[in-house]
Amino acid sequence: MRPKLTLKQIARELDVSISTVSKALRDSAEISEDTKQKVKAFAKLYNYKPNNIALSLKNRKTKTIGLIVPEIVHHFFTTVIRGIEEYANEKGYHVMVCLSNNSFDKEVINMEMLANGSIDGFILSISKETMLKEDYHHINEVINQGMPVVMFDRVVDQIKCDKVVIDDVEGATKAVQHLLDTGCKKVGLITTPDYINVGKLRTQGYTEALNKNRMPIHEKYILKIEDDSNSEELIKEFVKTEDFDGIFAVNEEYAVQAISALRKTEKEIPEDVSVIGFTDGVISKNFIPKLTTVNQPGTEMGRQAAKLIIDKLEKPETEEEEQYQTIEIKTNLVKRESTR
């Protein structure tokens, strides 16, 4: 076991000063070829690598991005993380991942822990609880300290920062339009409560599509699920109440549960009822029938979020025009076997 080599040790071994070593390694013109060769050879031989922490302290930048996600055991977030990690790595950045577990308190604690110099900027998708409370002081505080923040997927207007979202409304509209185009007359919606903004937007897309086609909108065609743990029963009840020939669900799980419930009422998919989900994850691809879905390009979203942050971090400080942008990632409909 040999501990890490430092400039000081090299200097001592080679009987030169620390700064000479430093300069030699950085190929400074100040240093003679001879010395450079000697130092470089030694450094290479003993595999010298500058200490990141020392560099961070000196440069006042850590080259790491803090990422806070509500939940990691979730296909969509996972693809976003991959995108972020991928882009960040290409640019020489690390990613520190924290999970809020959809808890407001954990989100606050995580942000405080990271904001103390550990990272240069945040990428985050806020927790359910935070959206409910509408308390964003922790995020605004960080922004006020001058730390760049990028929000993705679950964003809120009350926070001024760069954002990356998908076109939830449009995606939902496309889905419902497809159902109508293929002959559905009575389309049900399975969604989340409105405080989850993506649920709200997708609901809006559903409504818009129906409006555009001059179809009536009934409250009873819409199921809003508060608590995922009893979604199965709720959905089972819901599909019995009306004679739907189309269902649009705002996530994979609801879509699959709807199919399962419909099957129990002797309906065939897609012959009797067409079903479309949102998020093109492993379930959609592996289910029988394979699900028609609106895909969410999570990896692309992650890459864009990482790009926004890193661009801001590397832009010379002088440009003080605080212009925030919101990037909208396009979804598209993946037609498979659960629709006609």
Partner DNA sequence: TTGTAAGCGTTATCAG
Partner DNA sequence: CTGATAACGCTTACAA
Give the alpha-carbon dihedral of 141, 145, 148, 149, to 10 degrees.
Answer: -10
d(CA 236, CA 239): 6
Q: Given the structure tokens 């890490």, which residue do they identify?
A: 4
Q: Which of residues 49-78 bind DNA (CB under 7 A)?
A: 49-51, 53-55, 57-58, 60
According to DSSP, the β-strands at 292-295 and 332-334 are antiparallel
Candidate ranges 8-16, 99-107, 120-128, 206-214; the one touching DNA (CB under 7 A): 8-16
Pick one of 18, 96, 156, 333: the residue that binds a second copy (CB under 8 A).
96
Question: In whole angstroms, how close is the CB of 116 to a second copy at the nearest point?
Answer: 5
| Residue 160 interacts with, from DNA, a second copy, none (CB under 5-8 Å by kind) | none
Q: Which of residues 280-309 bind a second copy (CB under 8 A)?
A: 281-283, 286-288
Candidate ranges 44-52, 164-172, 238-246, 256-264; the one touching DNA (CB under 7 A): 44-52
Give the alpha-carbon dihedral of 260, 264, 266, 268, to 10 degrees.
Answer: 10
* Contact status: 115 vs DNA (CB under 7 A): no
d(CA 300, CA 298): 5
Cα–Cα nearest to 130, from 191, 80, 71, 195: 195
Pick one of 1, 2, 27, 34: the residue that binds DNA (CB under 7 A).
34
For 190, 235, 248, the CA distances from 340, given in Å and listed in that order, are 19, 22, 14
Pick one of 9, 35, 56, 177: the residue that binds a second copy (CB under 8 A).
56
Residues that bind DNA (CB under 7 A): 4, 6-8, 15-20, 22-23, 25-26, 29-35, 48-51, 53-55, 57-58, 60
